Structure 1
Amino acid sequence: MPYVKPTDLVTRMIDAGESKVLMSTRDTLIRSFMGGAILALAAAFAVTVSVQTGQPLAGAILFPVGFVLLYLMGFDLLTGVFTLAPLAWLDKRPGVTFPGVLRNWGLVFCGNFAGAFLVAVLMAIYFTYGFATEPSAVGQAIGEIGEGRTVGYADYGAAGMLTLFVRGVLCNWMVSTGVVAAMMSDSVIGKVVGMWMPIMLFFYMGFEHSIVNMFLFPSGLMLGGDFTIGDYLLWNEIPTVVGNLVGGLTFVGLTLYATHGRTAPKRRGVVAAEPELVGTARR
């Protein structure tokens, strides 16, 4: 599995960020729509596995299949462009502006939400036979997730909001590590292995991913979860988006860029003393 050195890796990250910022509106929306939809299907799959086996670890081990597929097909997630797009602006790539970065983030957010929401509607129909019956055990579990991760945070007030934000930071630290790890190899197997590990970690630990939540919470509302749209936005989606931005950009994008893309000057070595001077000093 060919390995890409960190300096070359950062160049690839900047190139990817430039490509995403300069991409047409149509392509950005299509790619982000499909990214949100596939990740939502993977989340539904992982919850189903966790509920039916009673083993949350099994769901976490299998969840990365969606992330791997969408990135191998060149689709986009907001969490990834949070990390990559600003690097092209910092590197002063031609045509890349800060408003262009914000435009990319906004379009990807909209596309991800549309894709995830469509899957939320389809899965709600699936879990209830077209809303003709009570939700299945998996559907009930999704509704409970929505309650626990909205009003559950609200019960703790400011401490709950801080916890939610930190979980968002930790999430995209791992997710963006997965995005970058895919660029460390030129083989499919290498890319899959690199992505799989950090994505499995974030899902099992219960960190907050803004795109996964675009599926879980709308579907949770449709499946009887006892929370509101306002609860979802205030006590999950908005703080999670901010946390994802901080986590991915700070701990992955900027750190790699600072130390491998814009390295500091090397320290000057200590000049060895002349042997005869050393001998004189000893005498």
Structure 2
Amino acid sequence: MKSPHPSAGVSTVANSADDTPQVSAPISCYSQAEIYAKSKVTKAPIQSFALAVFAGVFIALAFVFYLTVTTGAGDAPWGLVRLVGGIAFSLGLILVVVCGGELFTSSVLSTVAWAQKYVTGTELLKCWCRVYAGNFIGAMLMVGLITAAGMYELDGGNWGLNALKVAQHKLHHSWLQAFSLGILCNMLVCFGVWMTFSSRDMLAKSLLLILPVAMFVSSGFEHSIANMFMVPMGMTIQAIASPEFFASLGVTQEQFADLTVANFVFNNLIPVTLGNIVGGGVVVGLGYWWIEQCKTTLTEPHKAHYDKVSTSYTQDETTQHSTERKITKHS
């Protein structure tokens, strides 16, 4: 297998005269992506899984934040409410990047390492499976904690009603719509992660992530890991809340009867997950990989032309020096 660039950030070279390190050009975003992609797949499985559990927790916390800031918005403008919710939700990806986490939707960028033949297809799929499973466990832990904390009763139960409506809305997409929304979502997630490759400063990375996340959330794009928390949270509220809870909100428990495991898995989780893979792994990951290959291919003729011109120039220079020596000798 190939080995990607050995280090991130600014590379150094040694001066042949005194071995003094000299700063060379910074590594490109694509080269950083290769390092990032390979590290996702080659990380120790137990470490990868544990970090995936944390990432599931981070994304669930972000959705709790979203529900809290959008509950009770009343007559506030729809777009502004969703923008505020989207900014709040950006906490999740910021936690993943800054605190360290293995998130499935950003891990699909490891297609870059597969395309470069740094890892095999089997290694890639194993990585995706363990990260996906870890994210699910983290999300389920948060469903249990949030339910035990009784947060669905906040604001007179309006927090729980907001959660129910958001969860139910996610099950009302057609299969194609859910798939397309998954593609759009993970394009933005992976564009955000790709932008972080341009900086080594954590504050800068955090700021770069806010708008891409805010856009996909406010626009209603679908994120498979976020849905692992949100839809089960809605199903849990629908199952355990008392009749008085629903009556006080002017709704009935039967209105949310379509919040079932089967509906969630087949009408949302499967198409959204596949869409996330296409959006992040194919459009962004393989898209930039293909562009890099085109750049290499297109520069080869120029390199050959340069080598030809350089060789011709060297031969002319040698002939000139030889003529000068002859003139000097005769004079």
Same fold (TM over 0.5): yes
TM-aligned CA deviation for residue 15 of structure 1: 1.0
Matched ranges for 1:47-196 at <5 A: 47-54=67-74, 55-83=81-109, 85-93=110-118, 96-127=119-150, 136-150=157-171, 152-153=172-173, 160-196=174-210
Q: Is the 8 A contact 1:60 1:203 kept in 2?
A: yes
The 1-side partners of 2:202 and 2:292 are apart by 24
Q: Which has the higher contact order (CA 8 A, sep 6+)?
A: 1
Q: Is 1:207 the equivalent of 2:221?
A: yes
- SS of the aligned residue for 2:298 comes to coil
Query: CA 1:134–1:73 in structure 2 vs 1: closer, same or farther (change >3 Å)?
Result: closer
The 1-side partners of 2:262 and 2:26 are apart by 43
Query: CA 1:136–1:71 in structure 2 vs 1: closer, same or farther (change >3 Å)?
Result: same
Corresponding position of 1:222:
236
Q: Is the 8 A contact 2:86 2:214 kept in 1?
A: yes
Paired letter, 2:48: T
Q: Percent identity?
A: 29
The superposition leaves residues 11-51 of structure 1 with CA deviations (integer Å, 9 ceiling, x where unpaired) of: 11111111111111110111100001011111111111011
Q: Provide the aligned C-alpha RMSD in A.
A: 2.6
Matched ranges for 1:242-261 at <5 A: 242-260=274-292
Corresponding position of 1:15:
35
TM-score when normalising by structure 1: 0.83
Paired letter, 1:149: K
Q: Is 1:233 the equivalent of 2:265?
A: yes
Q: Is the 8 A contact 1:9 1:183 kept in 2?
A: yes
Paired letter, 2:99: M
Q: Which runs of 4+ in 1 moved over 6 A?
A: 2-7
The 1-side partners of 2:52 and 2:209 are apart by 18
Q: Is the 8 A contact 1:127 1:139 kept in 2?
A: no
Paired letter, 1:196: I
Query: CA 1:61–1:3 in structure 2 vs 1: closer, same or farther (change >3 Å)?
Result: farther
The 1-side partners of 2:181 and 2:47 are apart by 31
Paired letter, 2:290: A
- SS of the aligned residue for 1:196 comes to helix
Q: Is the 8 A contact 1:33 1:115 kept in 2?
A: yes
Q: Is the 8 A contact 1:7 1:261 kept in 2?
A: no
- Uncovered stretches (5+) of structure 1, i.e. residues with no partner: 154-159, 272-283
Corresponding position of 1:26:
46
Query: CA 1:6–1:172 in structure 2 vs 1: closer, same or farther (change >3 Å)?
Result: farther
TM-score when normalising by structure 2: 0.72
- Uncovered stretches (5+) of structure 2, i.e. residues with no partner: 1-8, 12-24, 75-80, 239-255, 306-331
Q: Is the 8 A contact 1:33 1:112 kept in 2?
A: yes
Paired letter, 1:148: H
